Structure 1
Amino acid sequence: MREVVSINRYLSDPQHVSQTGNASSQHLDVYELTITDFKHKTKVLLSSNLYRLVQLNQLWVGCAVKFTSCQMFFDEADLSGKTVIVVNNLDVTGHEDVDAEEVKKIPWCSDSPEVEKLDLPLTSSRGYYLSLWSSMEMRGEIWKTSVSLSKNLGGAGEKIYVIKEVAQKWTFIRHINPVLVVRVLLKSRVIHYAKPGKNDKWPFQAHLLVADESGACTAVLWNAMCPEIYHGISEGSILLLRKYNVKKSFQTIPRFRPAHYPLELYDIDININSHHPATEITILDPDAVPDDLTLPDVQYNFLSRKSISFLPDNFVCDVIGVVTYIGRYEREPIQNKHGHDSGGFWIKLWIHLRDDTSPHFFYIQLYRVAEGHARPDIVPGQLLVCRHLRVIQGLESMSTSRDKRYVYLTSTAETQVTTFNKNVDMKLQSVDRVQEVIRWSETVDIRKLTECSVIGGYFAYPICPSSVKGIQNLYKDLAMTSSQDWTTLVKGLSYRECRRVLVQAVMVQVQLKQSQGTVRWRYSITNRNLQEKEASDSNQQTDLVHEVLLNSEIYQSQIPVDILGTSFTEILSTRPVAYTPAMWNLVKQHWDFPPSSLLDQDVTWHKEELKAIDQTFLTISWLGLNSKVILQTLFLCPSDIPSDSSLLDLLSGRGYINSLEPSQIATCHLDLLETAYDCANQRFLLVLDLYQRDSQDVEIMLNRAVPLDNKS
C-alpha cells in the first residue's frame, strides 16, 4: 500500500519518448506520482490508460493506492543506468490522514538520482510542471513570485537611448547595444507554445507594451526569462534594458494598440532572452530614474455600470466595484491540433460586482491564465479592480431593436485583477472614478451587501432566447447532438468540465422538489471533498413535493434504458452558499481545485455548518427520439413566476428572468406543475448545460426548453 504525496503533469517530448519507449501514445501529456510507504518516497509515471482517473478526480493527492501492474524502463541513452517505473494498473483503496510536515521529512529512496529529488519532471527536457486542471497554468518552484527593485542604474556615464532611436537604427542594434529605460504600460498573459515533437525546456513568451517619451513598442520575454522575472513585472514597472535583440514585429497587426496614450507605436519587438545575447534586465525603483528622464504614466479607463450598456461591442475598459457573487470554477475544453491533451482546458468563473451608479451588476466572466497561481484572493464584500475587460453586448440573440440586451464583461489576454487596499498604486487611488466608488463603499452599508453575497452554484449568462429562431441565431456554431451520442458525451466529461449542448427530446416525467436547510460538513487534509459529519446523513436534504408522469410505458418497459444525469442538486455546485467570513477558509477548500501536493494543504479537521440557500427545483426527465436514453435534467425555479404561468412558459423563459434569488415552494409551483400534461407528446429543443460535479455525478442543467411542434 502506498500513499500519493503529489501528482504532477507535464508535456511529452522526444526525450521522454526515448526514456520510456512510449512512442505509440496519442496523449500529449505525462502524469508523475510521488508516492511513499512512510519510510521512503519515490517518483513513478502513470500509463496513459490511467490518466482519466486523475481527470475524474478518482485518483487524488492523499489517497492510498495498490499497484497491480508495473513496468521498468531503462533510459538507453543514459550510461549511468537510470530507470523509470511506469504504473500500468492500480487500485485506489481509500485515504489516510497524514501530517504534511512529517511527509517533508520522509527521505527519498537510496537509489533515487538527484534529478528525482528536484521539483522537476522525472523525464523529458521540460523544466516545469503544468497544472493538473489546465494547460494554461504553469507551476513549480522555478516561478519566482517577486523580484527586488534596484536603485542602481549601473554603467555610469552611459547614454540612455529612447525607443524612437532604437526603432530607426534597429538593424545595427547588435553593434551599439543601447541602454533603454522604459515603463511597462500593458502586460500580457504568458503564452505556452510547447510542441510534442520538440525538446523545449522553457517554451514560453510574454508580451509587454513598453514606452518612453518618444513612443511605444512591444517587448517580448522569451523562454527562461518568463519564470525568472514575469511575476516581478507589473503595469507601471520601470525596466532598465541592456543587450537585447530588436526585430521587425512578428505580427502584422500590433498586439497592443495604446488607444489612451498620445504615443507613436513603433513596429519593432525588443526581444528579452537568456542567451544570444543574454539580456540584462533590471526592475528599477522609481527613485532611481534620472530627473531628466520622462516616462509616460499608466492610463486608466474606468467606466461605471450605468455607462457599460452604451459601449460598442468588444470595447476594452476598466471597472471597480464591490464583490457580491463568486461562481463555481468550470473547465472549458481547448482544441489541440497536435493530439490529445488530457488537461487541455481553460478555467473560468463568474463574478458579480456592484457600484454606485446602478442597481444592476457587472457580470464578469473571468478566465484563469498562466499566472493563475498568483491570483488575488477574491472575497465577497471587498472592492475589486478589473483592468482590460472586453464588453460583450450579446447582439447575436437580438432580432429587433426592442429586444433586451444582456451585457457582460470578459477577460482579455491583458486582464489584470487586483483587490483594492491601501497598498495599491497611488496613481490608481487618485483616479476620479475610483475615488467615487471608494466614497460610496464607505457610505453604503457594505455589511448588508456582504450578507446578501453568495458563493458557487449554477449561473448561466447571458439569458438564453425563448424562441427556436433566437436559439439558432445565438448558437450558429453549435451542432445538434443526437440521442445515440448522449451516453458517450456525458460519460466522456472530465472533472468540472462544462459543455453546452443542443438536443431534441420528449418529456416523460416532472418532479417538484425542495432543497433546504444547513448541511454540517467536515474537511480533512487528505479528503478530496467536503464530507458530512455522519455517514448516515445523505448528501442532500431534499423533499419530493409532487410528481407528474407523462409516459409510464417507458418505466414499465422490459427494454433496458440508460439514465444519464443526477436527480438532486448539490451545495456549492448547483446551489450557492450564503457567504459568511467565518466560513470562507473552509468553503474555499471545496470551491477551489484539489491541490497537486499534500504540501500545498494546511487544512485541519473542521465540523461546521454551511448555510445553503433553500431552492425549489424541478427534476425533468427527457427521452431521446431514436434511442432509449433518458436525460435527468435539473431546473432551478425562479422566485418571480407570474401566477398565470404554465410549465411551457417557465421552461421556454417567457415571463420571468433567471435569478440567484432563492425560491420557496408556493401554490403557484403546484399549479404550474398541473400544466405539465400540456407538454406530453411534444418535441422540444433543449439547451443543456452539462457539468461533471465529481467523479460520479454529472449535473445536467436545463437552460431552456422550447416546443418544436408549434413552431414557436
Structure 2
Amino acid sequence: MKSNRLSWFWALRKPLKLQNVIKKSQESATLQTGESHLSSFLDAASASKQDSRIQRVYEEVLSSSQLRVSLQDVLPVTVVAVERYLAEIPPASNLPQPPASASPPRPAPLPSYCYDVTITDGMCQEKCHLAHEQNFLLHKNILQSGSQVKITQCSYMYNEKKLACGFLCIESLEIVGMCETPNRQKEYSEKLIMPLKGGKKHYLPLWNNEDPYGDMWVQNRVLEEATVNVAKLISLSHLETSWRGKINYQPLLVRILHKSRLRYYGKPYAKADIPYQAYFEVADNSGMMSMVLWNSLCPEWYNIMKVGTVLLIEKYAVKTSYPFKTLPTPGDSQMKRFATIEINLNVRDPPTKINIIPEKMVKPEWNLPDVKYRFITRSELDSLPTSHSCDIIGLVRFVGRAERTRKREHGEDFWIHRWAHVVDGTSEQPFILELFATSQPDIFEHIHPMTYLVCTQMRVVRDVSQNASSTLYLTTSNESQMFVTGWHKGQPYAKDTKVKSFIQWIKTQREADHMEKTAIGGYYPFPPAPHTFVKYCNNNKVESVLTTISEMEKEIENLHYREHKRIAIQGIISVIRYVSCSSRTEDSSGPSNSHTAVKNTDISNDGVKKGERRHHQDKEDDSLLSSQYASPQEQYNPSIVTRKNPVKRKLEMSDASESEESEGTVHDSWQSDLWTRVKDNLKERFHYSNAFPESIPRKFDYMHKEFLMEQYNLHPAQHKPKEYKTKKAVNEFKSADYFGQYEVTILGINHDVAIDVAFLPVHSPEDLHIFYSENIQNDTLLSHMSWVPTFPVLFVLHTICVWLLDEIIKAAIDLERQHVICILDICHLAEDKVEVFLNKIYKIVEDNMMNQT
C-alpha cells in the first residue's frame, strides 16, 4: 500500500521538478537504439531518483501518519531561490471582535508576507514553503539564495480545495554555510509558478514592492503593425471637454513624456490578482494628460512603455483624476496640462488595445511633442530653491551601499535607497544624490564609480536654516528615471545641449585622475542631523523621539536586513578611545561578535561570561590611562592621556605580535571621573563599537567591479553563477583613506547602563564633503574627532597630532557629567552584524527642548 501511495504521489508531480534527473539520465544513456535506449534511460532515471535527498524527505513525510517528520543525519541541500508574496489574513469572522460599543474601529492590519524556498540536491529541484516561525531567517538575510541547509523538521500540506495538490513545508532547518562551488551549481531557471500558499498569482521582489520581479514582466515584444487613421483620432483637449456621458472613445495617438515607478497596492483582504498600477504623462499637440496602467497590463506593458514611446490607444476608460497623486514638472513650461481627467488602461471594462508605433514610423505631420528636459549643472544648483525639479548628468565618483527604510513603523514594507556623488566639471563640489529604487532594478544595481549617470525629475532638498553646502542634495521623485553607461543609446536626452557639453568635457579628462578619487560602499552619514534638537523632533515622524539605552537592544533586534534607522538617546559622554586601522575593524571579516549586551548573569555566544567580558574591558580602559582626572586643572594636563613618543610608538608597533595587532591597539583614550566610579556597577553594557569591513568605504577597482557591486547591492533572490573570479574578501580592498575610528562610551543618565558606539573620523579636508558634512563642525567634540591631519601614513596610523588630541580632551571635559542627546545611525548589515555610529551630539540647553519629547 505504501509503495502504491508513493507511486501515485510521484506520478502527479510536475515533470519540471525532476528535470535535472531526466537531464542527467539522458547524458548517462549511451545506447542509441530505440528500445534499448528507453530501457537504459528509465533505469538511469530510477537510479538517480533513488539517490535524491529531496525525494527521500518526501518519502519519509508522506509515510508519516501525521504528515510531519523530524530528520536526523541529513545531508545539506542548496537554496537556489527565496521568493516572497503577500500573506492572507483569516476571515473576519475568525478574528476576535471588539464590543459593539467600542470605538474607534480597529485599523486595517499591516501586510505580512510568506516565503517559498526552492532547494536542490543536484538531482532534484523542489519548491517548499517556509513556516512562518522561520521568517526571521529571511528578515535578517541569514537564510539566503546560495545557502546550504539541513532540513531538520518538515511537514506536507495538502490544498483541500484542489485535487492532488500539496507542498512540502520546512518547519526547522540548520544553516551549514554557503555553497562552496557556486559556479558548479545550476542557475535557478524555473519558469513562473504561482506561490504555494494562499492562492496568490505572483511573487513580489524580495526586498521591496516597487521593482518588477519574475518572468511575467515582459521585457521585449514583437510590435504589431498598426495603421494610424488621423481622421479618426481625438485630441486630449477635445477628450477633456467631451468625455462625460460616453462609454466608447475615439483612438488616441500620444507620446510618453514621463513615467512613474510601479505602485503595488496589494492588501491581505483585496481581491485583485495582480494589484499594480503605474502613472504615465502622455501628450499630443494639444497638451499633456495622465494615463494609468492597471493590474495585469502592468507586467505586460510597463517595461516596454518608455519615455519617448509613441502609443496608439483604443478602447480605454476616462475617469476623474485622483487628487493626491504626484505630478512631474514638464520640460516644456509652455505645455498645457489637462489635470481634471485621466486615461485608464485595463484588461477589462473595456479591454484596452495598445499599439506601439516605432520611432522610424512616426510622421512629422502628427505634430507629436518631443521629450524635453530640465538639465542643470552643479554650478547652477546652489541657486535653486527647495523642491525645484531638475535633471542631471555626471560621472559617478562615489556610490553607497543599498539600504532599506521602513515605510511604516512595525510594518514589513521598505523603501530601497542609496547615496551617490556625481561630478560634471562645472564645480569642485559634486552632486549629492539620494537615489530611491525607480522600478529599474537592472540599472539601480549597476550604478558604480566611473559610470555616466543620468537622473531625471530630481527634487532639490535644502535646509534653509543651515549652510547651503552642508545640506544641499537632490532626491528622486515618483517620476524619476535613471540611466547608466550601456543604457544611454536611443534615449531622448542625448540631444540635450547640456548632455552634449558634459560629453565634450569628459573627453578632455584623464581616467586615472578620477579613479584615484573614487569610493564605493560603507557607512554614509547623510543627510546630517539638524542643527537643533527641536528641529530634529519636528522632522521625526515616530511616536516617541527619544529611545532609552535599554530599549536599544529591542530596536536592534527588530531591524531587518540592511535596514537603516536613526534614533536619539540621552546619555553622558564618558569614554573616548581612538583605535587605529590595525585594529579588529579591518580584521573582522571572519566570524565576529557584532554586539554584546553585558549582563552579570548571562552567557555570551562564545561562552565567556558577559560580566567577565565587561571586567576585562574596564581593565583595558584603566590600562590606557596613566592617571584619573581628579580636578579641572589636572584634567587639562595633556600628560594624563595615554600617549607615547611617536618614534618610540613606531618602534613598539613594528615589534608587536600579530595577535596583538588583530585585537586592535588603542592609542589614545580619555575617560571621565564619573565613569571610573560607576563602571563596575552597571546593570548592562552594550558593545556596538565595531566598524565592520562593510562599514568602510573602499576604493573602486575596475578589475573587481562585479564583486564590489555584489557586495554593496542587496542579496539576490535567485542564485546565479558568479560572473567574476575575485578571490579576495572585501576587507582586502584598499579603504578610502580609512586610518582608524573612535569608540565612544555613552553612560545612561541614571548611571546604570552604558553603550559603546563607533565614530568614523575624516582624514583630510579634501574628503570632508564626501563622507561627512560641514554640519558636524557645530559640535566641538565631533568636529575635532572628525578630522585627522594629512601627515605621512605611518605617522597617522600610530599617533594623533598632540594639539588635536588636547582639543578633543578639552571638548570632552566640557561635556563631563552633562546630559546630552546623541543621534545614532544604526544599520543591520546581515546575519548578526549591526553597526551603530554616532552622528550628532546635542547639548540640552534650548529653552523649548523639554517640550519636544
The TM-score range, normalised by the shorter chain, is: 0.7 to 0.9
1:81 corresponds to = 164
Give the aligned partner of residue 578 of structure 2: 512
Partner of 1:187: 259
The alpha carbon displacement at 1:419 in A equals: 2.1
Name the SS for the 2:379 alignment partner.
helix
Which residue number in structure 2 is paired with residue 209 of structure 1? 281
> Relative to 1, partners in 2 of residues 1:426 and 1:468: Cα closer, same or farther, differing over 3 Å?
closer
What is residue 407 of structure 2 aligned with on the other side?
334
Equivalent residue for 1:236, pick from 308, 311, 321 = 308
Structure 1 contact 129–138 (Cα < 8 Å) conserved? no
Matched, 1:225 2:290: no
Q: 1:118 to 1:98 in 2, by over 3 A?
A: farther
Residue type matched to 1:680 in 2?
E
2:362 is matched with which residue: 280, 284, 289? 289
2:720 partner SS: helix
The offset of 1:538, in angstroms, is 11
Contact kept? 1:394, 1:462, Cα under 8 Å: no
State the match for 2:493 in structure 1.
428
Q: Confirm or deny: 8 A CA contact 2:763 2:786 kept in the other structure.
A: no
Structure 1 residues 455, 347: CA separation in 2 closer, same or farther (over 3 Å shift)?
same
Counterpart of 2:739 in structure 1 is: 615
Matched, 1:375 2:444: yes
1:393 aligned to 2:393? no
In the alignment, is residue 141 of structure 1 matched against residue 210 of structure 2?
Answer: no
1:321-348 deviations in Å (ceiling 9; x for gaps):
1111101221101117xxx653x11111
CA distance in 1, matches of 2:838, 2:662: 20
Deviations 1:271-318 (A, max 9, x none): 111222221112211222234211011111111112212112111111
| 1:309 counterpart (379, 382, 391) | 382
Alpha carbons of 1:491 and 1:626: their partners in 2 closer, same or farther (altered >3 Å)?
A: farther
**For 2:717 and 2:683, how far apart are their aligned partners in 1?**
40
Match of 1:363 among 432, 455, 463: 432
Matched, 1:460 2:525: yes
Structure 2 CA distance for partners of 1:88 and 1:680, relative to 1, 3 Å: same
CA distance in structure 2 between the aligned counterparts of 1:540 and 1:474, rounded to whole angstroms: 42
CA–CA distance in structure 2, aligned partners of residues 137 and 660 of structure 1 = 44
Contact 2:292–2:344 (CA<8 Å) still a contact in 1? yes
Provide the aligned length of Structure 1 versus Structure 2.
669
Corresponding position: 1:70 with 2:154:
yes
* Equivalent AA in structure 1 for residue 727 of structure 2: H
C-alpha distance in structure 2 between counterparts of 1:261 and 1:198, whole Å: 40
Deviations 1:125-177 (A, max 9, x none): 43322222223334111112234455x323768622222232233235534x4
Q: Does 1:198 align with 2:270?
A: yes
- The match for 1:277 is 350
**2:509 maps to which of 444, 452, 465:** 444
Q: Is 1:681 paired with 2:827?
A: no
**Alignment partners' CA distance in 2, 1:252 and 1:137:** 22
SS of the residue aligned with 1:438? helix
Amino acid of the structure 2 residue aligned with 1:389:
M
Q: 1:423 to 1:417 in 2, by over 3 A?
A: closer
In structure 2, do the counterparts of structure 1 residues 197 and 469 end up closer, same or farther at CA, with 3 Å as the change threshold?
closer
1:434 & 1:465 partners in 2: Cα distance?
A: 35
2:173 maps to 90
Q: Is the 8 A contact 1:455 1:578 kept in 2?
A: yes
Any conservation in 2 of the 1:615–1:636 contact (CA below 8 Å)?
no
The letter of the residue matching 1:42 is E
Match of 2:319 in 1: 247
* TM-score, structure 1 as length reference: 0.85
Higher mean Cα deviation, 127-136 or 506-515? Answer: 127-136
Q: Do the aligned partners of 1:163 and 1:214 also contact (CA within 8 Å) in 2?
A: yes
1:4 corresponds to which of 76, 79, 83 = 79
CA, structure 1 residues 450+409, in 2 after alignment: closer, same or farther (shift >3 Å)?
same
1:407 pairs with 2:472: yes
Instruction: Answer with 540-549 or 202-211: which moved more.
Output: 540-549
Conserved? CA contact 1:166–1:173, under 8 Å: no
Q: 1:301 to 1:117 in 2, by over 3 A?
A: closer
**Which residue of the partner structure matches residue 59 of structure 1?**
143
TM-score normalised by L of structure 2: 0.71
User: Which stretch shifts more, 427-436 or 233-242?
Assistant: 427-436
Q: Matches of 2:230 and 2:475 in 1, distance apart?
A: 47
Name the structure where strand makes up a greater proportion of residues: 1
Instruction: State how far apart, in whole Å, the 2-side matches of 1:157 and 1:118 are.
Output: 40
Q: Which amino acid aligns with 2:131?
A: S
Change in 2 beyond 3 A, CA 1:26/1:330? closer
What amino acid sits opposite 1:510 in the alignment?
I
Residue 556, structure 1, aligned to residue 696, structure 2:
no
Q: Tell which deviates more after alignment, 595-604 or 304-313.
A: 595-604
Paired AA for residue 169 in structure 2? V
Separation in 2, partners of 1:189, 1:660: 45
Counterpart-to-counterpart distance in 2, 1:468 and 1:124:
47
Q: Is the aligned partner of 1:346 residue 2:470?
A: no
Question: Could you tell me how far apart the structure 1 residues matched to 2:207 and 2:168 are?
Answer: 24
Off by >4 Å, runs of 4+ in structure 1:
21-27, 98-102, 155-158, 402-405, 420-423, 465-478, 516-523, 536-542, 600-605, 647-665, 709-712
Alignment CA distance shift 1:656-1:134 (3 Å): same
Aligned counterpart, 2:23: none
Q: How far apart are residue 591 of structure 1 and its match?
A: 1.1
Cα displacement (A) at 1:91: 2.0
Q: CA–CA distance in 1 between the matches of 2:129 and 2:550? A: 36
- Three-state SS of the structure 2 residue aligned to 1:231 is coil
* TM-fit CA distance, 1:32: 0.8
SS in 2 for 1:226: helix
- Check the 8 A contact 1:466/1:654 in 2, yes or no: no
CA RMSD of aligned residues (A): 3.6
| Equivalent of residue 800 in structure 2, options 661, 666, 672 | 666
User: Who is 1:153 aligned against?
Assistant: 226
Rounded Cα–Cα distance in structure 2 between residues aligned with 1:29 and 1:596: 15
Q: Would you say the 8 A contact 1:467–1:652 is kept in 2?
A: no
**1: CA distance, partners of 2:761 / 2:587:** 25
Structure 1 unaligned segments of length 5 or more: list them: 107-115, 524-535, 642-646
Determine the C-alpha separation between the residues in 2 that align with 1:223 and 1:277: 13
Question: Which position in structure 2 is the counterpart of 1:320?
Answer: 393
Contact 1:183/1:239 (8 A) holds in 2: yes
Q: CA deviation at 1:628?
A: 3.5
Evaluate the alpha carbon distance shift between residue 304 and residue 159 of structure 1 in structure 2; reply closer, same or farther with a 3 A threshold. same
The one-letter code of the counterpart of 1:611 is K
Out of 258-267 and 653-662, give the one that drifted further: 653-662
1:504-543 per-residue CA deviation (whole Å, 9 max, x = no partner) reads: 11123221012259979999xxxxxxxxxxxx99997853
Amino acid at match of 2:120: T
Please tell me whether the aligned partners of residues 514 and 542 of structure 1 are also in contact (alpha carbons under 8 angstroms): yes
Pair 1:260 & 2:384 matched: no
Q: Secondary structure at the match of 2:180?
A: coil
Secondary structure of the 2:186 match is helix
Between the aligned partners of 1:656 and 1:317, the Cα distance in structure 2 is: 36
Provide the rounded CA distance (Å) in 1 between the counterparts of 2:499 and 2:788.
28
Q: Distance in 2 between matches of 1:105 and 1:213?
A: 47
Q: Which amino acid aligns with 1:309?
A: D
The answer as to whether partners of 1:483 and 1:627 remain within 8 angstroms in 2 is no
Does the C-alpha gap of structure 1 residues 278 and 439 become closer, same or farther in structure 2, counting only changes over 3 Å? same
- 2:375, 2:421 → 1: CA distance? 17
- Show the 5 A alignment for 1:526-675: 542-550=664-672, 551-557=675-681, 560-565=683-688, 567-571=689-693, 573-599=694-720, 601-603=722-724, 606-607=727-728, 609-613=732-736, 614-626=738-750, 628-639=752-763, 652-653=781-782, 665-667=799-801, 668-675=803-810
- Superposition deviation, residue 3 in structure 1: 2.3
Contact 1:451 1:580 in 2 (8 A): no
Assess, with a 3 A threshold, how the Cα gap between structure 1 residues 213 and 155 changes in structure 2: closer, same or farther: closer
